Structure 1
Amino acid sequence: MKTILIAAVFALITSILCTPLVVAWFRRRGFGQEIRSDGPQSHLVKRGTPTMGGVAIIGSTVVGYGVAHVVLAIQGKGGPTASGLLLLFLMVGLGVVGFLDDFIKIRKQRSLGLRARAKFLGQLVVGVVFGVFALMFRNRFGDRPASTHLSFVRDIAPIGLGAIGFVILAYLIVTATSNAVNLTDGLDGLAAGSSAMVFGAFTLIAFLQAKYSCGSSPAAGCYIVRDPADVALVAAAAMAACFGFLWWNAPPAQIFMGDTGSMALGGLMAGLAILTHTELLLVVLGGLFAMVTLSGIIQTGWFKFTRIRTGTGRRVFRMAPLHHHFELAGWEPTTVIVRFWIMSGVAVAFGMGLFYADFIGNG
């Protein structure tokens, strides 16, 4: 528990202190955000605000995790694990894809960066590599970072996917979650605050799994998860890094996380769900991100359907994703952010309730 707190504290301090340095560095180089011309007109004043702030979140997470392991090394308790390093690989890898997307937007002075095919290719490479390596590295108990079974709050024994099926599922989860967080990152602090809540939930989940691990203390209801304590370190560091970044990203934002941050955070959420064997629970914990994504799917699907049927496309919402709909309906941006944070908190609380119910039910 002390090591988890160390990872969180150092990630928080690094994020709070270093984000202003990132802001200053990006301002000097003109790394400013481009704004969609078809979006809410109130957003046009944000043009030029430094973006790619996700590098501060990623860097702070790595620092928090690294300092925690320095402390562990001093105590003679071992080094980083395969699970922890895989999570950092997934976060950094998708962060690089997002960075390229942001960089192209800045260089070409447009609100669209990488083409869809290029972005999906990057997600494919990172997701598949993560999925393949997650099925390697057995520990002394024979456990691998990931399982080939579909999971909810733990593995669903009858539903086996096989190695290939698992890699495909891992790619789908990584792609869906990284894109969902990317869609949600449309208002100051919305994605950072909501992500911090989800990472907090995974910190607690991994902590409980470490305390009641089948590897260290076999008993009824124990968890067959490799390296849960190290997974908790990554989750805690990411949570604190998001909170530190939120200090500067809260409205009016002095810096945006950009695709660099949103894709990295979404990827890490997916990785945490996979390595804690809570893949389907992620849909509940990340309920806000799922809702925002669903609004975009509904908007696009209904528009295309009505255009085919009537020749004129119709929209369900004033604008998608969902938070822009409420902006155009007259809600103040801060009101939208706070209310969406509340919805995210309710989703996280409900998801943790489901996990805890299983925890209690298994003794």
Structure 2
Amino acid sequence: MLYNLLYGFHTEWSWLNVFRYITLRSIGSAITAFLVVAFCGPAFIRWLRSRQIGQVVRDDGPETHWSKRGVPTMGGLLVLAGMGAAVLLWCDLRNGLVWLLLAISVFYAGIGAMDDWKKISRGNSRGISPREKLVLQIGGAAVAAFILLACLHYNGRLSLPFFKSIQPDLGWWYLPFAVLVIVGASNAVNLTDGLDGLAAGPILTTASTYLVFSYAAGNAVIASYLQIPYVEGAGEVTVFCGAIVGACLGFLWFNCYPAQIFMGDVGSLSLGATLGAVAIITKQEFLLVIVGGLFVMEAVSVILQVGYFKLSHGRRIFLMAPFHHHFEKKGWPEPKVVMRFWIISIILGLLALSTLKLR
């Protein structure tokens, strides 16, 4: 909004030229999102407590989690408010990619809100059915992918990390592939959100990494030099990623151990889907497997656990899935699990950034 309102006057006031710089607007976006979440956080937490919107904990979960019952949840609404304010303030609102990412964030937040509310109202860990949730997720992702291909004229080419010359074109088969990326990322982040600050940290790392890639993809000269696909308009995705980074930093202020508020499905499903959409828009879909490797490990641990449990008639690979609960069962304190998972996420982010040159 600032860009649209003020940059038009740069011919009269030359200092307004600063608003055309994506780097400045990305920093402004991150700071704005952080301040919105940080300042609104205490009042929002009090409001959730007054409405008794608290965390529901499974009886078969780790015993250390029983003390988390009643802690305010649905904090993802606060994160999305910070993100939305920053995006509307600092992005070029004429860019269709910005509105598409906002639509994905809001739609998946709606799915998560329904799930969270059913859990809270029923007083147990059962929200909407997995089938209903999956149908809604696939439907939303399919619409988003169709808009990219049909309306925004995206091609179906894939970009593979480390292999600059291999760019297979999927054509319209790219649509189901894009659905898989968005839905997979959404559910993987949702599974990771099980400890204080565990999901917000890796989301921050992933968004920071894609901030760099979206900036490079949106600049024709840099994209050509680095031999990555040039995506017209992707520069504004940089500002959007800055909003995610700032909002997650602000949320961590309240979500770090011991958490005053939890993200809930309204946050994890939405942020996961948004990161998946950013990966698609920047044509760095497979990079998400690297930078979001922690999310992948968490999702795979659940798949392996459930599959092995059924095949072996009751035996388990891990003490408990998702993966982070396995280490809790082994006696690791919760902060140790979170910090070590953050370290893994940062290393994976650095590895992902190295693919810019290792091609």
The answer to whether residue 244 in structure 2 is matched with residue 211 in structure 1 is no
Tell me the CA shift for residue 211 of structure 1. Answer: 3.0
Tell me the SS of whatever aligns to 1:148.
coil
Residue of structure 2 aligned with 1:124, choices 131, 138, 142 = 138
Residues 136/233 of structure 1: CA separation in 2 closer, same or farther (3 Å cut): farther
Q: TM-score, normalised by structure 1?
A: 0.88
Q: What residue in structure 2 maps to residue 52 of structure 1?
A: 74
Q: What residue in structure 2 maps to residue 87 of structure 1?
A: 101
Residues 224/79 of structure 1: CA separation in 2 closer, same or farther (3 Å cut): same
Q: Distance in 2 between matches of 1:80 and 1:192?
A: 29
Residues 155/110 of structure 1: CA separation in 2 closer, same or farther (3 Å cut): farther
Residue of structure 2 aligned with 1:290, choices 296, 309, 312 = 296
Tell me the CA shift for residue 167 of structure 1. Answer: 1.6
Q: What residue in structure 2 maps to residue 335 of structure 1?
A: 336
Q: What residue in structure 2 maps to residue 10 of structure 1?
A: 32
Residue identity matched to 1:338 = M
Q: Distance in 1 between matches of 2:209 and 2:202?
A: 11
Q: What residue in structure 1 maps to residue 116 of structure 2?
A: 102
Long gaps (5+) in structure 2: 1-22
Tell me the CA shift for residue 222 of structure 1. Answer: 6.1
Q: 1:127-158: per-residue Cα shift (whole Å, max 9, x none)?
A: 011111111444xxxxx3x4312222498765
Tell me the CA shift for residue 213 of structure 1. Answer: 5.2
Tell me the CA shift for residue 57 of structure 1. Answer: 0.9
Of residues 15-24 and 279-288 in structure 1, the stretch that sits farther from structure 2 once superposed is 15-24
Of residues 10-19 and 176-185 in structure 1, the stretch that sits farther from structure 2 once superposed is 10-19
Long gaps (5+) in structure 1: 70-77, 139-143, 308-312, 359-363
Tell me the SS of whatever aligns to 1:160.
coil
CA contact (8 A) 1:13 1:244 kept: yes
Residue identity matched to 2:114 = L
Q: What residue in structure 1 maps to residue 353 of structure 2?
A: 352
CA contact (8 A) 1:184 1:191 kept: yes
Q: Distance in 2 between matches of 1:147 and 1:51?
A: 40
Aligned length: 336
- What is the percent sequence identity of the aligned residues? 36
Q: TM-score, normalised by structure 2?
A: 0.89
Of residues 219-228 and 272-281 in structure 1, the stretch that sits farther from structure 2 once superposed is 219-228
Tell me the CA shift for residue 224 of structure 1. Answer: 2.1
Residue of structure 2 aligned with 1:303, choices 280, 303, 309 = 309
Q: What residue in structure 2 maps to residue 75 of structure 1?
A: none
**1:231-242 to 2 correspondences below 5 Å:** 231-242=237-248
Tell me the CA shift for residue 226 of structure 1. Answer: 2.4
Tell me the SS of whatever aligns to 2:261.
coil
Residues 49/222 of structure 1: CA separation in 2 closer, same or farther (3 Å cut): closer
Q: Distance in 1 between matches of 2:100 and 2:55?
A: 31
Q: What residue in structure 1 maps to residue 58 of structure 2?
A: 36
CA contact (8 A) 2:160 2:167 kept: no
CA contact (8 A) 2:75 2:264 kept: yes
Q: Distance in 1 between matches of 2:316 and 2:178?
A: 32
Residue of structure 2 aligned with 1:162, choices 161, 167, 171 = 171
Q: What residue in structure 1 maps to residue 251 of structure 2?
A: 245
The answer to whether residue 88 in structure 2 is matched with residue 66 in structure 1 is yes
Tell me the SS of whatever aligns to 1:150.
coil
CA contact (8 A) 2:62 2:329 kept: yes
Q: 1:232-282: per-residue Cα shift (whole Å, max 9, x none)?
A: 011110111011001000010000000000001100110010000000111
Q: 1:33-77: per-residue Cα shift (whole Å, max 9, x none)?
A: 1001101011011000111100111111111111113xxxxxxxx
Q: Distance in 2 between matches of 1:279 and 1:129?
A: 18
Q: What residue in structure 1 maps to residue 271 of structure 2?
A: 265
Q: Distance in 1 between matches of 2:70 and 2:169?
A: 49
Tell me the SS of whatever aligns to 1:290.
helix
Q: What residue in structure 2 maps to residue 227 of structure 1?
A: 233
Of residues 223-232 and 112-121 in structure 1, the stretch that sits farther from structure 2 once superposed is 223-232
Q: Distance in 2 between matches of 1:5 and 1:220?
A: 23
Q: Distance in 2 between matches of 1:158 and 1:287?
A: 22
CA contact (8 A) 1:150 1:156 kept: no
Residue of structure 1 aligned with 2:125, choices 104, 111, 130 = 111
Residues 305/222 of structure 1: CA separation in 2 closer, same or farther (3 Å cut): closer
Q: What residue in structure 2 maps to residue 198 of structure 1?
A: 206
CA contact (8 A) 1:182 1:262 kept: yes
